[in-house]
Amino acid sequence: MEYDRRQARVAEQSARGSGTSLPVKQETLIAWTSLYIAVGIMALICAALSTIVTLDDWRTGRWAPACTSTLDKALLLPKLWLHWQANYLTGTPVILAISLYYASSIGFSVFRDI
């Protein structure tokens, strides 16, 4: 008798949802995870290429921050950071285009099916 009650309680909890099941479908979870991984990899590639371009601009003289006064020397790192950011942001349209192409090839409905 006790065993039957316990089985009934377990069946009721599983029918109701005990909070341990994922509310997201497996297909949607895989699509979102792969999109996040792809965007992360593209951001890393963009950061590496921005670093290379910034250092190349500085080395070749296409971008030469002033370093004459003490203030110029103190502001060298922020200027370098801003130049790197400008180079990094040029990759944003490419990341968006690739991400949208990926989402459209899978189907936007997969991402909305939560």
> Rounded to an integer, what distance in angstroms lies between the CA atom of residue 12 and that of residue 18?
9
Residue-wise pLDDT tens digits, 59-74: 999 998 888 899 999 9
pLDDT at 101 over 70: yes
Per-residue pLDDT, 24: 79
> Rounded to an integer, what distance in angstroms lies between the CA atom of residue 9 and that of residue 13?
6
Answer whether 59's CB lies under 8 Å from 50's CB: no
Residue carrying the six token digits 């792969």:
34
Residue 46 has a CB neighbour count (10 Å cut-off) of: 18
- In which band, very low, low, confident or very high, does the pLDDT at 113 lie, cut at 50, 70 and 90? confident
Answer whether 38's CB lies under 8 Å from 99's CB: yes
> Rounded to an integer, what distance in angstroms lies between the CA atom of residue 82 and that of residue 87?
9
pTM of the predicted model as reported, rounded to 2 decimal places: 0.71
